A and B are shown apart, each in its own frame.
Chain A
Amino acid sequence: MNATFEGIVKAFRWWRGLLLAFALLAVSRIFLPLPFVIEVVIFSIYTMGCSFLLGRVGFISSGQPAYLAVGAYATAFYLFYFGTNPYVGILLGVLAGLAVSFVVGPLFVRLRSDYFALVNLALAVIVFYLMQKVLADITHGDNGLWFLTNLASTPVLDLTRPKDFFIFAFLAALAVWAFYKYLDDSVYGACCLATKINEDKVTFLGYSNFSIRLLAFVIANTTTALAGALYAVYLGFVSPEMSSPSRAADPVIVTILGGAGTLYGPIVGAFAYTGMKDVISKLVGNWELFIGFLLVLIMLAGEKGIWGTLQPRLEKLLVRRHATTPTADRPADT
């Protein structure tokens, strides 16, 4: 009896940060327009992979749009040519992301991190031209594939309706975050951080840098492919534009903005970025200027990002409040 109770308390402690974050996200749904919140949710899933690679493994991945496009196009091909069930489409998108990252991963993760960034960027460009020109017969080039009317209504959660789609995307995001939190706590998460800091020591400890990095690469890019599949179903349309090289920096910017490698950084970053884009582009129509200088300022201030700066303060606040209770010695969630 006591043991099960303790287990529940433990589970609650593990989940409370996640639940709080997602409760806040759910509350924001009441105040903010639905498309905005959906955009934030999908964008934060998109950024999560990049944040994991940059903050935990030390790879700056400027080629995320490639995997986004892979996920989106796999979903789109199924929904345009073969079937109507959006769930199957999303599943296929994720599987395609998994397959592609397993194929290119072994080639890429051997490279040093600066070359990795550039080779990944090259892959994004290749995917872009592949979709725009080379495979134009299947992808309809710049016109993109429109399949909104092909989507069939599904029972329980009807993905063709934005309200239900939001719930699905929300649950998917919660699952993704729970998974990454689990990774952070596991030995594997520690190994990732170790390869970032000192790869020689990791080798001495008997782990293989290559397989740690490969797994991280596959996990991160499959997450990105999930975001791509969600975009495809949500918009009912895909075009090569989503993998264009000029957008390659978006996830990196959002990662830095939120705080690289932190668990909630991507959500905070996606919120701030999407919000700023909406507000500033309405006001002046020149939001690159702001984003650019904000980025430089954040980097000069110490590259912690919004969440990375806020988190220690929140922790302090929490610890002070709990100072009288015995739970105080446990650090707050990262």
Chain B
Amino acid sequence: MDTQLLISGVIFGLSIGSIFFLMAIGLSLCFGLMRIISLDQLLYYSVGAYITYSVSLATGSVWLGVLGGLVVSGVAAFAVERLIFRRIYERELTFSMITSFGILIGGIGIIKFFWGVVPRPVPVPIEIQTAILGTDVPVYRLVVVGIAVLVYVGIWLFLNRTITGKAIRAGIEDVEHVEGLGINVSRLFTITFIIAGSLSGLAGGLHAPLIMVDPTMGLEVLAFAFMVVIIGGLGSIKGTLISAFIVGQVVSIGSLIYAPLAQMAPFAVMLLILLVKPTGLYGSALLKR
């Protein structure tokens, strides 16, 4: 294969993997701490993208839009957590999956109401290209990768260096003990949910310039987001990062080899990994509560 094609393929895979990572980290955190499958993260992803579109149209700055998307998604996540998830934490896992799917579908209805069904374009904020080993690569994609790495480092520092983060990590292990120590678990849940929602919104905002923004964009990436979480192991941040980059590369390199494979190959990879290790790469075996 052509080296230039390969390099641009790898960069493409890295950037798409970064977006998957930002999206899946919310799913993973929610599962780890609250034991819910929060499909509505995909809604915050769409909301982030739409806010980016609207703000960039109004002010001309995509970065401002991405910031706005992050904030609005966080607020939306906060509202949903307070109104709906609060009532269902005690229920079974599948229960939250179905409820959050209802939120996702309903949210798509709201998006259609406000923005219509026509796909919207978002301009790319950085149009210059840079040369890597003689191949022209769009700088924006590299910036996306950089942001994802920064977020990973930030999340790592937050979980390992702050009291709240340590409480969250302890909660992932055993939430009852954390509650016994006098930590307000309910507030912990809210904080985690807001972080998850805003990161999904960030993913949507960053993804918006690379694709067309349309109401069902959440459903289109739903399967990929899940795949990333599953391959990495539900509840593991490190696993999510690694599997996001694996999936990104499989999508990107797969499409270079044989285009129809691009959509299918990741699923085949996931099936294989699950058959070998049913809990994903870094998933823990203890998951009952």
Contacts and interface: CB of A to CB of B under 8 A. Distances in A.
A and B interact physically: yes
Interface of A: 54, 58, 60, 107, 110-115, 117-119, 121-123, 125-126, 129-130, 133-134, 245-246, 249, 252-253, 256, 286-296, 299-300, 303
11 contacts: A111-B278, A114-B37, A115-B230, A115-B278, A129-B260, A133-B264, A252-B98, A288-B106, A288-B112, A292-B103, A292-B109
B71 to A, nearest CB: 24
Q: Determine chain B's interface SS by DSSP, over half rule.
A: helix
Contacts of A119: 230, 270-271, 274
B75 interface: no
Interface string B210-241: 00000010011011001100100010000000
A300 B259 CA distance: 43
A113 B94 contact: yes
B264 A111 contact: no
A300 B101 contact: no
Interface residues of B, number: 45
Contact of B106 (A110, A112, A289): A289
Interface of B: 37, 84, 87-88, 91, 93-95, 97-99, 101-110, 112-113, 216, 219-220, 222-223, 226-227, 230, 234, 259-260, 263-264, 267-268, 270-271, 274-275, 278-279, 287
Nearest to B31: A114
Contacts of B107: 292
Contact of B103 (A115, A245, A253, A296): A296
B104 A130 contact: no
A154 B216 CA distance: 43
Contacts of A58: 94
Contacts of B223: 121-122, 125, 245
A292 B102 contact: yes
Contacts of B287: 112
A60 B94 CA distance: 7
Nearest to A245: B223
A64 to B, nearest CB: 14
A130 B259 CA distance: 13
B113 A295 contact: no
B98 A118 contact: no
A115 B271 CA distance: 11
Given A60-B98, A291-B106, A292-B107, 18 more contacts: A113-B93, A113-B94, A114-B94, A119-B230, A119-B271, A123-B267, A123-B271, A125-B264, A126-B267, A129-B263, A133-B259, A134-B260, A246-B219, A286-B109, A286-B112, A289-B113, A291-B105, A292-B106
